Structure 1
């Protein structure tokens, strides 16, 4: 499992409006593309330097495809990275202020301290 790779995915997708829209509309396609094309690049550096070993586990990949922020949290994804990306994708579907954020938090309410480790 690579919490780093999950967080890198959330971080990089959130910073590109085109990737946000692709992730919203075709998550399986975007996750597969990102894993093949971006997972092994140096974060914020597109100079051709890369590694070859970073891959999502099947569980991580499925949680990303399913937009399952609860499972991502269980896997150690940073909740702020998940929340900011998911706000960009789903807040527009709600009518009330903070409606999405409240629902996001409510789905995580069953967690007790200590929370899953979010250190990378």
Structure 2
């Protein structure tokens, strides 16, 4: 399992409004595309630098493809990266301010200290 790759996905999707919308509308397709085209591109590197070995495990791919942020948290994805991306995708679906954030907290409430390790 690669917490780095999970966080890299969340980070890169969240920084591009078009990718946020793509991931909202077609999560499984976006995950497949990103894994094939972007997973091995080295962050903040100019030119054709890339690696060849990074890929999601099935459990990671499933959690990303179903927007299962409690599972992503359990797998060690950074909670701030997860929260900011999912706010961008789903906050608009709620009528009350902070409603999505409250749902996020409620769905993660079953976790107790110590939280899953988020170090990469």
What TM-score, normalized to structure 2?
0.98
Q: Number of residues paired by the alignment?
A: 120
> Which residue does the alignment assign to 1:63?
63
> Which residue does the alignment assign to 1:17?
17
> Which residue does the alignment assign to 1:41?
41
CA deviation profile, 1:37-61 (whole Å, cap 9, x unmatched): 0000011335210000000000000
Confirm whether residue 106 of structure 1 aligns to residue 116 of structure 2.
no
Give unpaired runs (5+ residues) of structure 2: none
User: Over aligned residues, Cα RMSD in angstroms?
Assistant: 0.6
Moved runs in structure 1, 4+ residues, more than 2 A?
A: none
What TM-score, normalized to structure 1?
0.98
